Structure 1
Amino acid sequence: MMFELLIVLVVLGGIVGVLAGLLGIGGGLIIVPSLLYLLPFFDIPTEIAMHMALATSLACVVFTSSSSAFNHIRATNFDTCVIKSLLPGVIIGGFAGSFVAEWVPTEYLPKIFGTIVLSLALQMFFSVKSGRNRTMPSRFITLGAGGIIGTISSLAGIGGGSLMVPFLSRHSVEMRKAIGSSSICGAVLALSGMLGFILHGTNSDTLPPYSVGFVYLPAFFAIASCSVLTTRWGVKLASTLPAPVLKKFFACLLLLIAARTLIS
C-alpha cells in the first residue's frame, strides 16, 4: 500500500511539473487537495493533516518553481522590474501566512480563496476579449499587492502563480514574462512560507516519523523528484503557444479550481 501511494505521488509530481512550466504555478492548487486525500493513508493524524498538506505542498513548490524559473530564465521569459517590485512583499506575506494559519479557522480558507480565484478567472476571460490592460501600479502598491498575494498563497499552500499571473497580465505584462516572473517569485514565496510552517511544526507533539516540522518528507521527495524533471516540457509549451491561448487555458483552470473549492 505504501509503495502504491508513493507511485501515485510520483505521477502527481509529473503533472505538477508540466503545469508549473506552462502556467507559472507551483502546483499547490493540485498538491494540497491531493495530499489532504492521501495523507490519512500514511497514518497522519487528522488534526494536523491540513498543516502537513500546506507545508509539504510549499516544500514541493520551492523545487518545482525553482526548476520552472531556471528554464524560464534560459528562455528569457521574465521581467526584472516586476520581480524587484513584487519580491519584498511576497517574502513578507509568505512568512506571515504561516503564522495566520495558526488562528484562522481552516473551514473559512477554501471559501475565501475560491472566491478570489473565481474573480481572477472572470477578469482574465474579460481581458482576453477586450484586450484592455492597465499599466503597472506604483512600486508601493505593487509591494502591498505582493504582500497580500504572499499571505493568501502561504495560507493555501501554493506558490502564488494563480494570483500573480492574472495580476501581472491585467497590468500589461506579456503573458510569457508574467508566467516566468511568477515562477521566480513563487519559489521564494514558497521557501518563506515553508520555513514558517517548519518553525510552527516544531511545537507540535503529534508529528509523524520522517517529518521536519509540518513537512512530510516521503510525500515531498516523491512529488518533487518528478516535478523538477517535467517543468521544461511545460516551459517549451509556454514558449510556443500564443498568449491568448495561454490566457484562456489559465482562466479555465482557475474556474475549475474555484468551482471545486466553493462547492466542496
Structure 2
Amino acid sequence: MEFLGYLVTGAAAGTLAGLFGVGGGLIIVPALIFAFTLLGLSPEYITHLAVGTSLATIIPTSLSSTFTHHKNGNVFWPGVKLLAPGIMVGAWLGVTVAIQLSSAALQMVIGIGAIVIGLRIFLSKKGESGNQGALPAPPLMFSGGTLIGLVSAIFGIGGGSLTVPFLTRFGMGMKWAVGTSAACGVPIAIMGAIANIVLGDKIEGLPELSSGLVYWPAFAGIVLMSVPFARVGARLAHRLPAVVLRRLFACLLFAVGLKFILGS
C-alpha cells in the first residue's frame, strides 16, 4: 500500500511537470510528509526528508519533460545556460538554510508571492504568441537564477512557479517559458539532491535505505510513474491554447500559495 501511494503521487507529479514546467514537488512534498507520518518516522526530519527525496525524483522527471519540450521546439537553451549557474549556487544555499532554520516565515512570504504572481498571470494578456522574448543582462539572470534555486531547494520543487513568471515578465511566450522552466528544473534538482545527501548525512536517526535526506523506496515508486507521465503532460502543454495554459498555471499558483500560507 505504501508503494502504491508513491506510484499515484508520481503519476500526478509527472503530469504537472510536463504540463506546467514545474518539477512536481508541489504534490510530492506534501504527499511524502503525509506518507512518512503514517510510517511513524520522526517528525524532526520528516519535512526535510520529503524535500530531499522530492528533489531527487525531479531529476528524471525534469529530464523527461525537457526532452519532450525540446522535441516540440519550446526550450530556449541560451536562457537555460544563463540561469543555470545561479540556480546551482542558490540550490546549495537553499538546502543549507532548510537544514539549519525554520522555514515557516519564508513559506508565508512565498505563499503570498505565489498568489500575487498567479493573479497577474491570470489577468495578463502577454505571453500568448510563443515568442522567445528579450532576456535581461547576465548579472540579472544570475541573480534571478540564484533566488529561484534558493527557494526551490528549500521547498523541494523544480522552480517552475518562479521560473515561468520570471521569464514571462521579460516577454517570453508561455509555451517557451514552460519548456525553458522544465530544463531549468534539472540543475535545481541535481544540486539540491546532492546537497541533501551530503549535508543530510550528518543527521542521526534517519530510516534505512536512505542516503542523507533522500529516501530511496519513495524515490523509486515516484520515478516509475513520473517519467512517463511527464511526457503526457508536455504533449498536453504543446496542444493546449496558450491562454488556457496560462490560466491553468495561475490556478496552480493560487493553490500553492494557499498551501504555503495555511501550512506555515
The aligned counterpart of 2:51 is: 54
* Residue type at the aligned position of 1:22: L
* Residue type at the aligned position of 1:7: L
The aligned counterpart of 1:111 is: 108
Quote the offset at 1:242 in angstroms.
1.1
Check the 8 A contact 1:96/1:193 in 2, yes or no: no
TM-score, scaled relative to structure 1: 0.94
Check the 8 A contact 1:72/1:235 in 2, yes or no: yes
The aligned counterpart of 1:227 is: 226
Structure 1 pair 130–140 and aligned structure 2 pair: CA distance change class (3 A): closer
The aligned counterpart of 1:71 is: 68
The aligned counterpart of 1:206 is: 205
| Aligned-partner Cα distance in 2 for 1:17–1:129 | 27
Provide, for residues 20-65 of structure 1, a one-character-per-residue CA deviation record: whole Å limited to 9, x for no partner: 1111000001111111111122232110101101000000111111
* Residue type at the aligned position of 1:85: L
Q: What secondary structure is seen at the aligned counterpart in 2 of 1:46?
A: coil
What is the identity percentage for the equivalent residue pairs of Structure 1 and Structure 2?
38
Pairing 1:32-47 to 2, within 5 Å after superposition? 32-47=29-44
Structure 1 pair 9–130 and aligned structure 2 pair: CA distance change class (3 A): closer
Quote the offset at 1:129 in angstroms.
7.5
- Of 2, 5, 17, the match for 1:5: 2
- Gapped runs of 5+ residues in structure 1? none
The aligned counterpart of 1:192 is: 191
Comparing 218-227 with 77-86, greater Cα deviation is found at 77-86
| Aligned-partner Cα distance in 1 for 2:176–2:127 | 20
Quote the offset at 1:130 in angstroms.
10
Pairing 1:240-251 to 2, within 5 Å after superposition? 240-251=239-250
- Of 14, 17, 26, the match for 1:17: 14
Comparing 100-109 with 253-262, greater Cα deviation is found at 100-109
The aligned counterpart of 1:96 is: 93
| Aligned-partner Cα distance in 2 for 1:142–1:159 | 17
Q: What secondary structure is seen at the aligned counterpart in 2 of 1:151?
A: helix
Quote the offset at 1:77 in angstroms.
1.1
| Aligned-partner Cα distance in 2 for 1:80–1:160 | 17
| Aligned-partner Cα distance in 2 for 1:129–1:67 | 28
The aligned counterpart of 1:170 is: 169
Q: What secondary structure is seen at the aligned counterpart in 1 of 2:198?
A: helix
